[in-house]
């Protein structure tokens, strides 16, 4: 039986970083992963391919240039799935090579196969050819990730009725599509196919979408999606989906019938724990296959940790990486810095246009009776916005009305997921709006929006101070 200091099940972002962190501490580490899934869902069917597809869509449709060159502008008229998949496969192959090289460089063993527990410290790995390897470890990290949740009443065929993993393998760009579920994945794909010219209908059982985001930002996103012929059916549930010779028919509980070439079911995800034989390790899975952990990502069994999407919210590649590193450090008694509050972790939604935020929303602060002021910068007022042809983008700052600390940053438009990190840094360092007021940003850039929004918020607070006669005023130019 081969023995390791640390065994990681899963090679996604969380598993990679856990194994490499252990190796950097001088520990003998290994990662178990299926041959065709190195890099996990993130690289093969999730984050990387979907974001690469998005870039291909933006480039080939010429969407971002239409404000400058007219609404009829196109880079390519007849965009095929082959056009999209060529770029996607290139990036996937490159990222898999990067991961293999990183593991090899750090002397982390990559063991092919499916793992399951045979005891608290033991795993059996089936390589798919009938051969089994017995492994043991002092510490074990479960980083198996998730898979699309599939309602048993839905007959997925991978062509006309698909989940979020199968959608990358469509044979052609559909003329029409129903997206069931207005979560992050559903809305990202809805916006991509709408950009390709697909007539998209989004069905969501809740009364609105992406409720965790700023309401004003989501209203702006909905406006843009409707402008690209996306139809929203909120407070509606799907009774059944019928497959016919001419396509699909989605029948709602309200009696509405929606014909479409393709149906994408995006009904959440569930942990891939059913084949792990967790009982042999003394563990049980919670709802939707999730594994419960403490603040150190340790399960109820002291030497077994779980990280990444399999432990639930926030289920992001970025946070998963940090969870993996922290779990490995804790497992071997290595000091690790104080974890930043979840509030200071950015959220990025790769719709067209992008949405990103960090910190609190207006609704959050209002519900908690926190006094705040709002500062807004609109891309149409920035030279860089005009250069990019983005007139709808905006950045919003939420500032504590008394301490002047930055409480939230909400961005909508081009490069939102990059831009948000400036606000994240200020918040992480407990900074105030005055830093952004006094800072000098390159011109012309979108980053300049921080200074514009900061001045907007600070001048509003200055006006209040004048009315009340307060001397606590940060003098600003008009």
Residue 316 structure tokens: 């992001």
255 is in an annotated binding site: no
Q: How far apart are CA 143 and CA 15, in angstroms?
A: 5
Angle formed at CA 141 by CA 109 and CA 323, multiple of 5 degrees: 110
Q: How far apart are CA 353 and CA 416, in angstroms?
A: 8
According to DSSP, the β-strands at 347-349 and 109-112 are: unpaired
Radius of gyration of the chain from Cα atoms? 24
423 is in an annotated binding site: no
Q: How far apart are CA 247 and CA 303, in angstroms?
A: 51
**Rounded to the nearest 10 degrees, how much is the dihedral formed by the CA atoms of 73, 78, 84, 90?**
-90
185 is in an annotated binding site: yes
40 is in an annotated binding site: no
375 is in an annotated binding site: no
Q: How far apart are CA 202 and CA 370, in angstroms?
A: 35
36 is in an annotated binding site: no
Q: How far apart are CA 155 and CA 248, in angstroms?
A: 11
Residue 273 structure tokens: 């724990």
Contact 163, 264 (CB under 8 A): yes
Contact 307, 14 (CB under 8 A): yes
183 is in an annotated binding site: yes
99 is in an annotated binding site: no
Contact 111, 135 (CB under 8 A): yes
According to DSSP, the β-strands at 2-9 and 29-33 are: parallel
- ω before 136 within 30° of 0 (cis)? no
- Annotated binding residues for FAD: 51, 309
- Annotated binding residues: 51, 181-188, 204, 268, 309
- Annotated binding residues for NAD(+): 181-188, 204, 268
């Amino acid at each position: 039986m081969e023995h390791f200091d640390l065994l990681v099940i899963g090679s996604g972002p969380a598993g990679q970083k856990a194994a490499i962190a252990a190796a950097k501490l001088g520990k003998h580490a290994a990662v178990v992963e299926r041959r065709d899934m190195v890099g996990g869902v993130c690289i093969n069917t999730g984050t990387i391919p979907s974001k690469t597809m998005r870039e291909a869509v933006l480039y080939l449709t010429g969407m971002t240039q239409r404000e400058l060159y007219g609404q009829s502008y196109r880079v390519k008229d007849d965009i095929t799935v082959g056009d999209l998949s060529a770029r996607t496969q290139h990036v996937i192959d490159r990222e898999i090579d990067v991961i293999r090289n990183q593991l090899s460089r750090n002397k982390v063993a990559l063991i092919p196969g499916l793992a399951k527990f045979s005891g608290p410290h033991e795993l059996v790995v089936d390589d798919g050819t009938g051969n089994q390897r017995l492994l043991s470890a002092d510490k074990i990290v479960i980083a198996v990730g998730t898979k699309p949740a599939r309602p048993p009443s839905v007959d997925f065929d991978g062509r006309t009725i698909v989940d979020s993993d199968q959608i990358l393998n469509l044979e052609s760009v559909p003329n029409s599509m129903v997206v069931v579920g207005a979560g992050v994945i559903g809305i990202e794909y809805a916006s991509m196919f709408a950009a390709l010219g697909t007539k998209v209908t989004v069905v969501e059982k809740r009364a609105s979408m992406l409720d965790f985001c700023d309401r004003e930002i989501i209203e702006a996103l909905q406006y843009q999606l409707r402008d690209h012929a996306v139809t929203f059916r909120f407070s509606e549930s799907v009774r059944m989906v019928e497959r016919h010779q001419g396509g699909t028919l989605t029948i709602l509980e309200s009696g509405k019938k929606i014909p479409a070439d393709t149906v994408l079911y995006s009904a959440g995800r569930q942990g891939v724990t059913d084949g792990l034989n967790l009982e042999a390790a003394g563990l049980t899975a919670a709802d939707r296959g999730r594994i419960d952990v403490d603040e150190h990502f340790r399960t109820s069994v002291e030497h077994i940790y779980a990280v990444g999407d399999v432990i639930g919210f926030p289920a992001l590649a970025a946070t998963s990486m940090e969870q993996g590193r922290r779990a490995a450090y804790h497992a071997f008694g290595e000091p690790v810095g104080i974890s930043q509050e979840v509030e200071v972790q950015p959220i990025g939604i790769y719709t067209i246009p992008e949405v990103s935020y960090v910190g609190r929303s207006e609704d959050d602060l209002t519900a908690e009776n926190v006094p705040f002021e709002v500062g807004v910068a609109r891309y149409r007022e920035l030279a860089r916005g005009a250069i990019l042809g983005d007139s709808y983008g905006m950045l919003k700052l939420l500032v504590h009305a008394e301490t002047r600390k930055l409480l939230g940053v909400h961005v909508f438009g081009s490069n939102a997921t990059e831009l948000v990190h400036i606000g994240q840094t200020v918040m992480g360092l407990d900074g105030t709006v005055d830093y952004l007021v006094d800072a000098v940003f390159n011109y012309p850039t979108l980053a300049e929006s921080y200074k514009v929004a900061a001045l907007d918020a600070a001048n509003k607070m200055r006006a209040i101070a004048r009315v009340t006669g307060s001397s606590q005023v940060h003098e600003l130019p008009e």
